[in-house]
Structure 1
Amino acid sequence: MTRAPLPWTAPTATDPVRWTVQLPGSKSMSARALVLSALAAGPSTLLRPLRARDTELMAAALRSMGPQVSTVDPERWVVRPRPLAGPADIDVGLAGTVMRFVPPVAGLADGPVSFDGDPYARKRPLGPLLDALRALGVRIDSPSGGLPLTVHGIGKVAGGEVVIDASASSQLVSGLLLAAPEFERGVVVRHVGPPVPSAPHVRMTVQMLRAAGGAVDDTTPDVWRVEPGRLSGRAWEIEPDLSGAVPFFAAALVTGGQVTLAGWPHRSVQPVERLRALLQQMGGEVTFTTDGLTVRGTGAVHGLDADLSDVSELTPALAALAALADSPSRLTGVAHIRGHETDRLAALARELSALGAEVIESHDGLEIRPRPLRGTVFETYDDHRMAHAAAVIGLAVPGVALTDVACTSKTLPEFPALWSAMVNGTS
């Protein structure tokens, strides 16, 4: 069923925001925990996972092949593995995790498993993963080299060594690694080409594989070796979603206020130190306390010159901050986000320019020169991160009208209500 767009005018802040936000679990951790749990030898639980469109699609995808995935209790999802089998039809929506993590799992199923998704999902990079799976012994029908496609599983995957260019998405590597313990010979993945973007997400995959009992060797750069073996069921403590918190942290900088992400762990698999450094460069103060992770604005937002290749999902929110800064910014290393939910570089250049900023788009980034901004219609392109960027600018610029705020349901359905409560100072 097609989701109806929901127009929304971003609220403008009249005072510094002071807010403690309780966010659901990390999308990246939730997706990986679901896949590892479905492949484990025993049941698993996900504690405080993210319930949003992407993770619901992941749960449904795994459920369609046999594993039992109970999401009745929003705080405690339970996964009970079952033999993987087709036929199955999987809707990936716009979720990169579903379209790249589940086909390797489908190769282990006994029977055909078909995949398709939202129209733009057919444009997202997938070909290198499909070629790698074929090299590992999986039969795949994909007339276009992407979606729609059918994996013809025979209940096993030979595995072995494979070469892949994962410069379009780190998920191309993670998808292979997550299923690899179940391959007869495991897998050796060798990346060739430009650097793998969003490297912290591959490290997250490796850490979570090891936590489930997987044997992974990543000591050689751009080479990952996973030995065959059974994974163990376990309880997964899902961290609050760091990337989902970034717009709220940005609000602290824009308004000179303070925002705390409650429940932040002492140790994290998410790139918190990198985010901390970026926010500090832009004028924020970041502290860790028993209350959580706190960002405080200092009354000024500074421009930023940074390579964001390892944290590319932060680009829209940081670009919004850059448009409100007191000096120019240059954001580079993110050519691959042209293949995300939309071409984010082109979309950001177009929408920030419409607001009045001077934006120069390059092949791998943006130069943003702040100018007086004006309210106007901000196209969100069915992309939750674009909606976040518009909301950040709307804090300081009245009349920023989003064409669709419901697209935030992809990762945080509560976003409009939480954002309005923060700006209005209500609980």
Structure 2
Amino acid sequence: MTDTSAPHALWPAPTADGAVRATVTVPGSKSVTNRALVLAALAAEPGWVRRPLRSRDSQLMSDALRAMGVGIEETVSSSSGGAGESGEAWRVIPAGLHGPATVDVGNAGTVMRFLPPVAALAAGPIRFDGDPRSYERPLGQVISALRTLGARIDDDGRGALPLTVHGGGALDGGVVEIDASNSSQFVSALLLSAPRFNQGVEVRHTGATLPSMPHIRMTVEMLRAAGAQVDTPEAGGEKNVWRVAPGALLGRDLVVEPDLSNAQPFLAAAMITGGSVTIPDWPRRTTQPGDALRSIFTEMGGSCELTDTGLVFTGTGKVHGIDVDLSEVGELTPGIAAVAALADSESVLRGVAHLRLHETDRLAALTKEINGLGGDVTETADGLRIRPRRLHGGTFHTYDDHRMATAGAVIGLAVEGVGIENVGTTAKTLPDFPQMWADMLAGAGA
């Protein structure tokens, strides 16, 4: 048996023997879980986060908040009450935020960006450090914005990790301009803590583009559900301006939705093999970017039905190319690129130049790895052009990027001999992926 826990071990991606037919229960959303933890930590009363994602990113977030004094009790409930009352739950008990403390951000964008504003509200120094790649990821806009709002931050002029936030127990807040062209997380980072700022915050985005707007909408919805007053462009406010009034946040009892972006490889399996996959509890209304998979994968040749059970996605075994703007849903790009490499016509993926600054340079990585299997992928100014070719086996490197690993697994369904390097990196947001993949494939060809 291959040891997939070693960073450089190769996991032999299984090839499907026939049509996949499975029900796959996807763990909770990382984006919702980590936002919920931050809001609960800043609330005026205890709250619950139910069915949270337990992964490296969410563990880094909870460990960081604990280091700053927040109580997080992990429980498993067997209650027979409502749908959200059974399973794992985290009780979050707000406390006086304090240092000294050290936060390990790993390579989690939500941790490295959402928590410096929280640390500015703490009493004492909070040091932030992380994986080597985290030093390269953009953070300067958050640092400069926090300084404008009254925070004291020592980063030795790098505009990046590692850094120390010298919290004074409060933050003035006010008006700040920020260029969030590289990541919508810059805006979300300031909005999440804003109710606790003395003056709240007015965030003005000055850049030419703003990727991943659904994630900002998710932040706004979750703030409002916790009792915050938020004015947004969608609500008739100024374009690219968000205002959050100061005030207390409520402790909530929140059930985390399944992570729809992490459902992507399983839906792709149905499309590529001409099978059918059901994802239970797919929400009828959501701010998650992954919900766009319903329309994107339908255009590429599948069909879906949203039932009381969840989303039922069915493929024909034929995959069509697509010309699509993914600027709002960039995290879906690796999986879509993998499917496009197996299509019957060319695909153009647009609006995702910012992916060069994600866990790895995803555009360069996808180009190199798919081409290494015989593909024909070229980078454009803001995306990828993919011309399908007959692919062959080989090593698919992941660059410590969970979505690269799942993209390689998708290609492996149709191409024999694909070995995924460091499939364990999927634990960032999708624990036990190899076992979930094997369980899904157990019914293939039956």
TM-score normalised according to structure 2 size: 0.94
Aligned mates of 1:47, 1:318 — CA distance in 2 = 30
What residue number does 1:231 align with?
Answer: 249
Q: Output the amino acid matched with 1:218.
A: T
What residue number does 1:27 align with?
Answer: 30
What residue number does 1:94 align with?
Answer: 107
Q: Output the amino acid matched with 1:378.
A: F
Aligned mates of 1:406, 1:272 — CA distance in 2 = 22
What residue number does 1:122 align with?
Answer: 135
What residue number does 1:108 align with?
Answer: 121
Aligned mates of 2:218, 2:404 — CA distance in 1 = 25
Contact 2:105-2:112 within 8 A present in 1 as well: yes
Secondary structure (helix, strand or coil) at the match of 2:127 reads strand
Q: Which moved more, 1:287-296 or 1:417-426?
A: 417-426
What residue number does 1:162 align with?
Answer: 176
1:75-129: per-residue Cα shift (whole Å, max 9, x none)?
1111000000010100000100000000000000000000010000110110001
Residue 186 (structure 2) pairs with residue 172 (structure 1): yes
Percent identical: 59
Contact 1:309-1:334 within 8 A present in 2 as well: yes
Q: Output the amino acid matched with 2:27.
A: P
1:342-397: per-residue Cα shift (whole Å, max 9, x none)?
00000000001001111111231110000000000110111000001000000000
1:21-50: per-residue Cα shift (whole Å, max 9, x none)?
111110000000000000001111111010
What residue number does 1:191 align with?
Answer: 205
Aligned mates of 2:300, 2:347 — CA distance in 1 = 10
Aligned mates of 2:69, 2:134 — CA distance in 1 = 25
Contact 1:6-1:406 within 8 A present in 2 as well: no
Q: Output the amino acid matched with 1:87.
A: P
Aligned mates of 2:219, 2:164 — CA distance in 1 = 25
Contact 1:378-1:400 within 8 A present in 2 as well: yes
Q: Output the amino acid matched with 1:173.
A: V
Shift of 1:280: 1.0
Residue 77 (structure 2) pairs with residue 69 (structure 1): no
Contact 2:6-2:422 within 8 A present in 1 as well: no
Residue 349 (structure 2) pairs with residue 335 (structure 1): no
Residue 246 (structure 2) pairs with residue 243 (structure 1): no
Distance 1:397 1:221, change over 3 A: same
Contact 2:228-2:248 within 8 A present in 1 as well: yes
Shift of 1:297: 0.3
Shift of 1:425: 2.0
Residue 58 (structure 2) pairs with residue 47 (structure 1): no
Secondary structure (helix, strand or coil) at the match of 1:24 reads coil
Aligned mates of 2:129, 2:291 — CA distance in 1 = 36
What residue number does 2:427 align with?
Answer: 409
Secondary structure (helix, strand or coil) at the match of 2:414 reads coil
1:137-187: per-residue Cα shift (whole Å, max 9, x none)?
000011211000000000000000000000000000000000000000000
Aligned mates of 2:9, 2:426 — CA distance in 1 = 10
What residue number does 2:155 align with?
Answer: 142
Aligned mates of 1:344, 1:269 — CA distance in 2 = 23
Residue 413 (structure 2) pairs with residue 424 (structure 1): no
Contact 2:50-2:256 within 8 A present in 1 as well: yes
CA RMSD, 1 decimal: 1.2
Among 311, 316, 337, the alignment partner of 1:298 is: 316
Structure 2 unaligned regions, length at least 5: 77-86
1:211-258: per-residue Cα shift (whole Å, max 9, x none)?
000000003221000000000001011000000000100101100001
Shift of 1:5: 4.4
Shift of 1:4: 4.1
Secondary structure (helix, strand or coil) at the match of 1:71 reads strand
What residue number does 1:379 align with?
Answer: 397
Q: Output the amino acid matched with 1:67.
A: V
What residue number does 2:367 align with?
Answer: 349
Secondary structure (helix, strand or coil) at the match of 1:82 reads coil
Aligned mates of 1:405, 1:271 — CA distance in 2 = 24
Secondary structure (helix, strand or coil) at the match of 2:269 reads helix
Contact 1:254-1:300 within 8 A present in 2 as well: yes
1:270-318: per-residue Cα shift (whole Å, max 9, x none)?
2355221111110010110012011110221000101101000000000
Aligned mates of 1:185, 1:33 — CA distance in 2 = 22
Among 37, 56, 60, the alignment partner of 2:59 is: 56
Distance 1:3 1:156, change over 3 A: farther
Aligned mates of 1:413, 1:267 — CA distance in 2 = 25
Aligned mates of 1:271, 1:90 — CA distance in 2 = 28
Structure 1 unaligned regions, length at least 5: none
Secondary structure (helix, strand or coil) at the match of 1:413 reads coil
Aligned mates of 1:130, 1:400 — CA distance in 2 = 42
What residue number does 2:284 align with?
Answer: 266
TM-score normalised according to structure 1 size: 0.98
What residue number does 1:216 align with?
Answer: 230
Aligned mates of 1:364, 1:215 — CA distance in 2 = 35
Aligned mates of 1:382, 1:240 — CA distance in 2 = 23
Contact 1:160-1:185 within 8 A present in 2 as well: yes
